[in-house]
Structure 1
């Protein structure tokens, strides 16, 4: 009976003595995110238009590199003549973050109100989140905001490495 109790007690002691996984300290991330469209397909459904697209992006600042992005824009025409527009997509980034080279996958969401369903000078506002990485970016994590008119955005947030 003593032997049966020893195994769980030793296992528990080993687990309690294990060093906890620690993340590095967070640091600020900021810079420019510019892009150009590489494909766009519109589909209408009543007062709502769906735009399925791809783009090629350039990042400067904390993120230095390029990306290929997939996204869906949803424009809903209100009775006021304004479009309530939302976007969600993924960013497949290749480059460096704080000098560390690799790739990372980010997700983004955003919204704007505009008089058109398409690129405009209206300001977009949204968020981004790092969801995966490889190479030296395998342990990067982060999230933040982005804002600006179509094609010329600013990003800000925080990142850290495990």
Structure 2
């Protein structure tokens, strides 16, 4: 057994002393992280779809109606930026290969926090007509955020209970 690891460079083998090979074990993706990441990816998709149609309509109607004030425009930019960040955090939570499960949970919490912030910004910019017509959607978003938060909080506990049940069943059989 050699003490130094060898690496092929082109057609030569180079000794690299002190290099420890990285193990290929990657932590399994918890179900709670998968659920929260899906929620954090669905909401920006719907948001970009709605904002795309809205941008087309407002640009076509801008010659007939006055433009929005600066505060509403700033909220629109904040909503779009927050949606892009939450999608990035959700994709990292699912696709990032890591050996520690807490990294996936931390990214899922970040994605959920950005999702909640985006929802609050969306509700803050709505006018009276939008608040009346979109009340059901507002409650659905709030309920989804609460369910995702509870899933993240109870995820490790439920996984530990499942492991104990599996051990008990293995002992009984």
The structure with more radius of gyration: 2
Question: Structure 2 length normalisation: TM-score?
Answer: 0.24
Question: Structure 1 length normalisation: TM-score?
Answer: 0.25
Larger proportion of helix: 2
Larger proportion of strand: 1
